[in-house]
Amino acid sequence: MFAFKASAQQGTRMFRVKTLSKCVFRRKISSRLVLGIETSCDETGAAVMDETGLILGESLHSQKEVHMKTGGIIPTVAQRLHRENIGRVVQEAMERSGVTQSQLSAVATTVKPGLALSLGIGLDFSLNFVKLHQKPFIPIHHMEAHALTVRMFQPVVFPFLVLLVSGGHSLLALARGIDDFLLLGQTLDEAPGDTMDKVARRLSLIKHPKCSMISGGQAIELLARDGDRLKFLFKPPMGAHYDCNFSFAGLRNQVTMSIQKKEVEEGVEQGTLLSCVNDIAAATQHTVASHIAKRTHRAILFCKAKGLLPSCNPTLVVSGGVASNQYIRKTLKIVTDTTGLHLLCPPSKFCTDNGVMIAWNGVERLREGKGILSHTEEVNYEPKAPLGVNITAEVKEAAIKLPPLKLRITD
């Protein structure tokens, strides 16, 4: 059993995170309990948590190995795998928690945004569950859950700046409350995790002996450690746009053209590992990290200029699957050190999609009495759902130019 400690204003709280192999954890129930369910993309997750943040039981079924073989997520396949596994995953989480359905105070489930077919499985299961057991239902915004996960482990007070970067999302927002966000910037095309996965597929990294069993993004990070990023100089995206939006499709096109050129030079066909894969990985990763860091830097300066961040201990929270990339974290650390912010990231296990973060968001909403529905109310899933109030136009109008900042990472 792993333990994460965080000091709270009224004492010290202990958050216990069980490994999936542990036996049932039984305890006397002394607080309200929430079952969290996550099926927004390719992870079927469930967790039971009490209102202090104690994880009583959890289970997670990942589809990543299946989707790696097909070169990407096929929505109908993801839907089938969610349908086949959700009952077992929820049952495992409940059994490991030692909690019965009657002891639950509410069920929290991701209903937006995400893949429509995946969201539908989780929502249908949850609605049937709450109707059967007559429990309140708490619809969860997936990105809000990512943004608030860190509050399980650190006593982070509002407001704080949030950077969410994953395979499907990339955005910057100011969190002012559990359901109060100002959107500062978002991706205009694809997400950074998606870009690195596509570059990894174009490089055929699944054929690399070190990368056959890991995701594309993880393969890029791994090979980049032994690469020279200066061998390939990719143009940073959106250099002339003084806002906080992201764009990664143009970078991917640059990388693709470089790969094609090297294939011709080395006289090999597409699908053959190039001799310079480490260098291409390093250059790709650095350009992605640099773009994320610069947009985040501008978001910090904008928030400071508008008085949106507290003068005492302002914080940047980084979450989402790409937040596990250590090179990207180090570039962001340079930015926060320069601007006087405190950088916080959830443990890597909780950066990716899971039922725990959904349960925690449900706990936060249950505490404040926000967004809690009766088991008889109708709920629809939303594949596309904005986060908070969009003020990206105001950020663009401010046209903040960044001071020079060297993003030099030394291992």
Tally of CA atoms within 13 A in the half-sphere of 77 that contains its CB? 14
Burial-class residue 124 by CB neighbours within 10 Å (0-12, 13-18, 19+).
Answer: middle
pLDDT value of position 390: 98
Query: In the block, which residue shows the tokens 């305890």?
Result: 27
- Average pLDDT over every residue of 305-309: 97
Is the pLDDT score of 75 beyond 70? Answer: yes
Of all residues in the chain, what percent carry a pLDDT higher than 90? 83
The pLDDT tens digits of the residues spanning 393-411 come to 999 999 999 998 888 776 6
Query: In the block, which residue shows the tokens 């000091």?
Result: 7
pLDDT value of position 350: 92
The per-residue pLDDT of the chain, averaged, comes to 91
Tokens of 185: 């910037």
Which own/partner pairs from 226-230 qualify as long-range (CB within 8 Å, at least 24 positions apart)? 226/278, 227/277, 227/278, 227/279, 227/280, 227/281, 227/282, 227/283, 228/278, 228/279, 228/282, 229/279, 229/282, 229/283, 229/285, 229/286, 230/283
Confirm if 391 and 184 have CB atoms less than 8 A apart. yes
- Average pLDDT over every residue of 38-44: 94
**Which pLDDT band, with edges at 50, 70 and 90, does 321 fall under?**
confident
**Residues whose CB is less than 8 angstroms from the CB of residue 206 and which lie 6 or more positions away in sequence, other chains included:** 68, 200, 212, 219
Is the pLDDT score of 164 beyond 80? Answer: yes
The pLDDT tens digits of the residues spanning 358-371 come to 999 999 999 999 99
Is the pLDDT score of 3 beyond 50? Answer: no
Is the pLDDT score of 22 beyond 50? Answer: no
Confirm if 400 and 241 have CB atoms less than 8 A apart. no
Sign of CA dihedral 17, 21, 25, 31: positive
- Average pLDDT over every residue of 337-354: 94
pLDDT value of position 30: 60
Is the pLDDT score of 1 beyond 70? Answer: no
Whether cis (ω within 30° of 0) applies to the bond prior to 404 is: no
Confirm if 175 and 145 have CB atoms less than 8 A apart. no
Per the model's pLDDT, the better-predicted residue between 30 and 281 turns out to be: 281
Per the model's pLDDT, the better-predicted residue between 26 and 372 turns out to be: 372
The pLDDT tens digits of the residues spanning 209-261 come to 999 888 899 999 999 999 999 999 999 999 999 999 999 999 999 999 999 99
Of all residues in the chain, what percent carry a pLDDT higher than 70? 92
- DSSP assignment string, 214-271: S-HHHHHHHHHTTS-GGGS-PPPTTTT--SS-B--HHHHHHHHHHHHHHHHHHT--TT
Rounded Cα distance, 294 and 288, in Å: 10
The pLDDT tens digits of the residues spanning 373-389 come to 999 999 999 999 999 99
The three-state secondary structure class of 13 is strand
The pLDDT tens digits of the residues spanning 42-69 come to 999 999 999 999 999 999 999 888 887 7
Rounded Cα distance, 144 and 193, in Å: 19
Is the pLDDT score of 16 beyond 50? Answer: no
Tokens of 375: 């088991």
Q: Which amino acid is at 380?
A: N
The pLDDT tens digits of the residues spanning 282-305 come to 999 999 999 999 999 999 999 999
Crossing angle for the helix pair 277-305 and 326-339, to the nearest 10 degrees: 30
pLDDT value of position 19: 37
Tokens of 257: 């053209």
**Which pLDDT band, with edges at 50, 70 and 90, does 2 fall under?**
very low
Is the pLDDT score of 319 beyond 60? Answer: yes
**Which pLDDT band, with edges at 50, 70 and 90, does 28 fall under?**
low
Per the model's pLDDT, the better-predicted residue between 338 and 169 turns out to be: 338
**Which pLDDT band, with edges at 50, 70 and 90, does 167 fall under?**
confident
**Which pLDDT band, with edges at 50, 70 and 90, does 174 fall under?**
very high
Give the predicted TM-score (pTM) of the model.
0.89
Is the pLDDT score of 392 beyond 50? Answer: yes
Q: In what order do the strands lie in the sheet with 180-186?
A: 342-344, 315-319, 160-165, 170-177, 180-186, 389-390
- Average pLDDT over every residue of 329-341: 96
**Which pLDDT band, with edges at 50, 70 and 90, does 29 fall under?**
low
